[in-house]
Structure 1
Amino acid sequence: MYAAVTVFLFMCWTATATADHHQPCHTPNMTGVISVSEIRSGATHSGDFTYDSVAKKLRLRTSVTAHSHIKNVTKNLDLLIFFEEGVLYDIDAKNQSCEKKTLRSALNTLEIPPKSTFLSKITLGSATVAGEGLVLSVWMGPVPDLKANYIVSVTNGCLPLSSMYFSDTTTNIISLMQIETEIKDPDLLTLPSFCEGEAVEEMPEGTADSFLKLFL
C-alpha cells in the first residue's frame, strides 16, 4: 500500500500542468457510499451519504465494522453536518437524542477547495478504446489548520471519486462509490425536532474537530 501511495504522489507531483486557466468545478448533489481508510493503521470505515452541494449539508449513516491491523471495532454513526455553519449533529434516533458539536476545521472532502492547484488530467483504463477509459482531473493543495495536504481526483462531471489527505503522521484515502447525482430523501438533511435548540458540546482539543476524525 505504501508503494502505491508513493507512486500516486510521484505521478501527481511530476504531472505537467500547463493549462493555468483551469478552475475548480462545483460538486453536484450526491447520494452514494463513502469509504475512509487510514493507511498506517489499516483502519477503514464506510457508510451511506446524502450531500446537498448548494447548502453544504451532509448526512452520513454507517453501521459497518471498522477494520484495522490491531482489532475490529463496530462504530455506528448517524451524523448531520452543516459545513457552512461549522457544526455537526451526532444523532441517536432510537433514543431521540442529539449532540451538537463544533467542527474546528472547515475541511469538506466532498468539494474541491477554491484555491486548489490543478495538476493534470489522467485516464483510468484505456485512452484509445472508446468507452473504456475514465478521464479524471487531479487537484491538490494544503489544509493549513490540519497541517496536511490533499490530492483529489474528479470526473468531467465533477464527481469526486477519490481524495488523499496526508501529513507527517497520517494518510487518509476517501473513496465515493455508487454515486447518483440527486438527493433521494431531502428529509435526511432536515434537523430532527429533538435536535433543535441543542447547546454546543465542549470537546477536548483534537477530538472530532474535522471531517476525517469523525471516522478514525
Structure 2
Amino acid sequence: MYGAVVLFVFMCSTATTYADHHQPCHSPNMTGWMSVLSLKGGVRALGAFTYDSMGKKLRFRSNESYPVNTSLGLDLLIFFEEGIFYEIDSKNQSCEKKKLQMFLHPLDIPDDAKFLSTMNIGSASIEGEGLKVNVWTGSIPHMKGDYSMSFTMGCLPLTALYFTETTSLIFSNIEIELEIKDPDLLVVPPFCHGQPVEDTPEGTVNSFLNEFM
C-alpha cells in the first residue's frame, strides 16, 4: 500500500500536462463507502457516507455493518453551509455540536484547487481496462500541509491524499451510487435538537479531516 501511494505521488509530481482552463467540478449527490488509511500504518476508519452536494451536507458513519477492525468509531453529520457539525452517539442518544473551522473534505474539489494532470489508471490501450481521471492539488494552511485528489471525468471522487507535518492520510471511495438513498441520515436526530455549540479550545481546528488525525 505504501509503495503504491509513493508511486502515485511521484507520478503526480512529475506530470507535465497542465491546463489553466480547467475549472474544478463539483460532485453530485452520492451514497457510498469510504476508507481512511494512515500512511504510518493501519486503517483509521471504514464506513458509509451520504453526501448532499446542493445542500452541502455530509454524513459519515464508520464501523457499521462491516467486518474490519479500525481504530475509530465515528458518526458525523456536517453542515458546511452553516459551519457546524455533530458528533453523534446513537447508542447513548447523545451528541456534541461543534463549530467547523475548516471546510476541506475528500468528496469535493475546493474552488481554489489547481489542476495538475489527466491520467489513466490501468491501461488506456486495452478496452475496459483503464479509467481516465483528473488530478487536483492544493495546500492546507491550517495544517501546514498539501493534498492531491483524483476524480473521474464525471466528477466522482476516487482518492484523496493529505500530507501534513504530523500525519498523512489517504481516503478512498467505493460502491458509489448517484443518489441519496436515505435522506433522513442528513437530518439532525431529535435528541440533538437544542444542543448548544461547544466552545472550541484555543489552537483546536475542527474539521472532517481532523477527526481522523
Structure 1 and Structure 2 fold alike (TM over 0.5): yes
Match of 2:170 in 1: 173
Residue 28 (structure 2) aligns with = 28
For structure 1, list consecutive stretches of 5 or more residues without a partner in the other structure: 68-72
- Are 1:105 and 1:146, in contact at CA under 8 Å, matched by a contact in 2? no
Q: What residue ranges of structure 2 are gaps of 5+ in the alignment?
A: none
User: 1:196 maps to what in 2?
Assistant: 193
Q: Is the contact made by 2:95 and 2:192 (CA closer than 8 Å) also made in structure 1? A: yes
Partner Cα separation in structure 1 for residue 102 and residue 184 of structure 2? 26
Residue 44 of structure 1: CA displacement? 2.4
Whole-Å separation in 2 of the counterparts to 1:140 and 1:98: 34
Deviations 1:47-90 (A, max 9, x none): 011000111101111226654xxxxx4x3222111112221111
Per-residue CA deviation, residues 157-203 of structure 1 (Å, 9 max, x unaligned), is 10010000002321110001110010001111011222122101124
CA RMSD of superposed structures (Å)? 1.9
State the match for 2:6 in structure 1. Answer: 6
TM-score (norm 2): 0.90
CA distance in 1, matches of 2:89, 2:44: 22
Contact 1:140 1:150 in 2 (8 A): yes
Aligned residues of 2:162 and 2:169 also touching (Cα < 8 A): yes
Q: Which amino acid aligns with 1:154?
A: F
The code of the aligned residue for 1:29 comes to N
Note if 1:18 corresponds to 2:15. no
State the partner residue of 2:108: 111
Q: What corresponds to 2:158 in structure 1?
A: 161
> Which residue matches 1:42?
42
Matched, 1:96 2:93: yes
**2:162/2:170 contact within 8 Å kept:** yes
The count of corresponding residues between Structure 1 and Structure 2 is: 210
Distance 1:66 1:144 in 2: 32
**In structure 1, distance between residues paired with 2:17 and 2:47:** 34
Which residue is equivalent to 1:124?
121
Report whether the alignment pairs 1:53 with 2:40.
no
Residue identity over aligned pairs, in percent, reads 56
Q: Contact 1:207–1:213 at 8 Å: present in 2 too?
A: no
From 75, 97, 103, the equivalent of 1:78 is 75
Confirm or deny that 1:142 pairs with 2:136: no
Please tell me the residue identity of whatever aligns with 2:13.
Answer: W
Q: Using the TM superposition, give the Cα deviation of residue 146 of structure 1 relative to its aligned residue in structure 2, in angstroms.
A: 1.9
